[in-house]
Amino acid sequence: MTTSTTFHPPARLLLGPGPSNVEDRVLRAMSAQMVGYFDPSLVEVKSEITRLLRLAFGTLNAATFPLSGTGMAGMEAALINLLEAGDRAIIGVNGAFGDRMAQIVERCGATLIRIDAEWGRPIFPEQIEAALKKASGAKLFAVVHAETSTGVLQPLEGFRQVAERYQTTFVLDAVTSLAGHPVEVDRHGVDVCYSGTQKALSAPPGMAPITLSARAMELARGRKRKLQSFYFDVPLFAEYWETHQAYHHTPPITFYYALLEALRIVEEEGLEARFARHRLNHLALVAGLEALGLQMHVEAPYRLATLNTVKIPADVDDAKVRGRLLREFGIEIGGGLGVLKGKVWRIGLMGVNSRPNSVLLLLAALERILPNEGFSCGSGIAAANAVYAQG
């Protein structure tokens, strides 16, 4: 006879590309009992989630809600609802997630127009405009606001004017930026923006917040052919979310509780204070890493505060360092993806994990590990503390 045991996950400080550690208040919210998906109390929960997501996205869009699924669900839904066979789509590819968008465009049967940039550099509006001039009538263009594979923060100024000049649709991936960087959907003229809950929101993975402009919803509703996916049919889901009557699928009610509590925490802290906190801890981390003798992968003007990429020194074993961080200190950081595999570490400072404790512990751990791996380093703690002292 076998005896089952309760699983007790090890204590980890998740400083990788996601997921982040979950806020304690969010964990407690998830322990609440189920209600039915048409229960009046859940209607209130959904309404409050919409209000708070609009705040986080910086939008007044009516169609603002969380899809059931991770951030990839948001990416897929954003593209497949707008694109049909034969449509033209321009995708800025400067990392792994721009490349994924490009793959989805091809799976839709649409004509893909790639704009490739170095993995560590942004996409510029003039590149999109040049492609739009060549691809007359392109239905949409898309860029990644926070490229998780490279640590690049994509500047958004100028894209709105390009979209308006060519009467096209602007799609934005904000999976690693929402609640950590200003997204400001309405100010930047973004038509569709999606994210995930497991990063700067410090909720569990499993929901994909998304917001669509009236124009984007009109395009989704006006398709020539029904969307091949019932589950990701945004207009169908919107009917359930907005009317509280139509059945679409059984929603993950526990995750609604979690998202609501995470968004309440964001509102209580205040967006500007939250952005400033993420930036301060990012600057302290960078100062400490550079004092150790390490180099950042991305130029300063384009660095994410939520996801930091640092070059792995020559002759230092990537896997050994990350393995020791996990075994000896309980810290997880990420390795590189694609062309950056083995070349960078990806260090996330998102949500509840963006705090001085995380920065200082990681720097102390690296300072202990790196010399044993053949890299002579300085001290990062003093440099980080100098940044904190300046505020």
Please give the domain boundaries of the chain with CATH numbers for all domains: 24-268 (3.40.640.10), 271-390 (3.90.1150.10)
C-beta separation of 82 from 139 below 8 A: yes
C-alpha distances out from residue 111 to 74, 95, 106, 363, Å: 21, 20, 7, 46
* Confidence (pTM): 0.96
Question: Which is nearest to 74 in space by CA: 189, 154, 194?
Answer: 194
Question: Which is nearest to 176 in space by CA: 157, 149, 155, 141?
Answer: 149
Q: What is the pLDDT of residues 265-288, one digit of tens each?
A: 999 999 999 999 999 999 999 999
- DSSP per residue over 206-267, as a string? -EEEEEE-HHHHHHHHT-SS--S-STT-HHHHHHHHHHS-S--S---HHHHHHHHHHHHHHH
Residue type, 253: I
Check residue 1 and give its pLDDT: 55
Check residue 246 and give its pLDDT: 86
Q: What is the pLDDT of residues 146-190, one digit of tens each?
A: 999 999 999 999 999 999 999 999 999 999 999 999 999 999 999
Residues of the chain with pLDDT under 50: none
Check residue 43 and give its pLDDT: 94
